[in-house]
Amino acid sequence: MKLFLLLFILLIPVATAKVVVIGMDGLGGKYITEDNAPFVTSLFKQGTYCTNVQSVLPAISASNWYSAFSGVSSKQHGVISDTKNSEYPHKTIFEKYDSSLYYTATVKPAIENHIMKGTWSLTDQGTLNKARTSQLTFVHFDYIDIYGHLFGYNSKLYNWMVKKVDKKVKTFVEKLPKETTILIMSDHGGLRKSHKEDTPEERTAFMVMVGEGIKQNNQIKEMQIYEITPMIEKALQGPTKKNIWKEGSFLHFLWERFS
Ligand SMILES: [Zn+2]
């Protein structure tokens, strides 16, 4: 009986916080509003958010998703093209944790090979099951960016697509277990039909994080996209672990109870 009890205890998985990251590619921090993204902006009140996340340059997907998940700027990692094969000297957060990654479409080879693996199914039961069991899940929506390139960023059709993806995100998030920490973010914005230049419209993204212990209705005035990595790592440690951040780090005011 005692041996059975011991075995039972040993078989209980170690409790770790689960984090789901939802990427809304190309939804600029300058463009997200209560009108086009009613669900995502409603989370601002429930968590910590920033509509002034500074993308690394160039403000393109590969550079920025890689920075968001490796914790370093493009000056350090050197990935400055969506299509050119680059070297990826820094480990992404997905390589350190039990992760499952999902993407919609047209992710460039640079990201495909090094950040995203998985299937084309998105927000279906399979993804939900994975999100419930993996420590870290990334679900990436590419449609908003595609509409920006086709019809112009902040155009009528772009905002129509933002609304559509916002709804999709809502349906998905509402099916996740309540204790899941959720981070919704973009990688860059755009101007007219591209995002190659260094303008606030192009290089400003957004993020919102909600979950146990995370400060509510808390706006961060400005942050860098590579600061996303330590945020995710901290969330993965769950509310019982001690604060690991240096004095003065913005993360001190992100969590109410953790630090
Ligand atoms: Zn992108």
- pLDDT number for residue 37: 98
Q: Tell me how far the alpha carbon of residue 26 lies from the centroid of ligand 1, in angstroms.
A: 5
pTM of structure: 0.83
Q: Is residue 58 part of a domain?
A: yes
Q: Is residue 41 part of a domain?
A: yes
- pLDDT number for residue 106: 38
Q: Tell me how far the alpha carbon of residue 8 lies from the centroid of ligand 1, in angstroms.
A: 46
- pLDDT number for residue 148: 96
Q: Is residue 254 part of a domain?
A: no
Q: Is residue 148 part of a domain?
A: yes
**Is residue 228 within a helix (H) or strand (E), and if so which, with residue range?**
helix 228-237
Q: Is residue 256 part of a domain?
A: no
Determine the average pLDDT of the residues in 174-194: 95
Q: Is residue 251 part of a domain?
A: no
- pLDDT number for residue 244: 42
- Write the CATH number for 183: 3.40.720.10
Q: Is residue 213 part of a domain?
A: yes
Q: Tell me how far the alpha carbon of residue 60 lies from the centroid of ligand 1, in angstroms.
A: 5
Segment of 16-25, 138-147, 198-207, 230-239 carrying the highest mean pLDDT: 198-207
Rounded CA gap, 49 and 55, in Å? 15
Q: Tell me how far the alpha carbon of residue 188 lies from the centroid of ligand 1, in angstroms.
A: 6
pLDDT tens digits, residue range 25-63?
999 999 999 999 999 999 999 999 999 999 999 999 888
Task: Report whether the peptide linkage leading into residue 13 is cis, meaning its omega lies within 30 degrees of zero.
Answer: no
Determine the average pLDDT of the residues in 136-149: 88
Burial 181-216 (b: 16+ CB within 10 A, else e): bbbbbbbbbbbeeebeeeeebbbbbbbbbbbbbbbe
Q: What's the number of domains the chain is made of?
A: 1
Rounded CA gap, 50 and 218, in Å? 9
- pLDDT number for residue 204: 98
Rounded CA gap, 163 and 223, in Å? 25
Q: Tell me how far the alpha carbon of residue 12 lies from the centroid of ligand 1, in angstroms.
A: 40
Determine the average pLDDT of the residues in 77-95: 76
pLDDT tens digits, residue range 1-33?
556 555 554 444 444 678 999 999 999 999 999
Q: Tell me how far the alpha carbon of residue 164 lies from the centroid of ligand 1, in angstroms.
A: 17
Q: Tell me how far the alpha carbon of residue 206 lies from the centroid of ligand 1, in angstroms.
A: 12
Determine the average pLDDT of the residues in 154-168: 95
Q: Tell me how far the alpha carbon of residue 236 lies from the centroid of ligand 1, in angstroms.
A: 25
Q: Tell me how far the alpha carbon of residue 190 lies from the centroid of ligand 1, in angstroms.
A: 9
- pLDDT number for residue 195: 95
Residue 181: which domain range? 26-132+144-240
Specify the higher pLDDT residue, 63 or 204. 204
Q: Tell me how far the alpha carbon of residue 186 lies from the centroid of ligand 1, in angstroms.
A: 7
Nearest partner of 138 among 186, 189, 167, 99, judged by Cα: 99
Q: Is residue 253 part of a domain?
A: no
Rounded CA gap, 45 and 214, in Å? 11
- pLDDT number for residue 2: 59
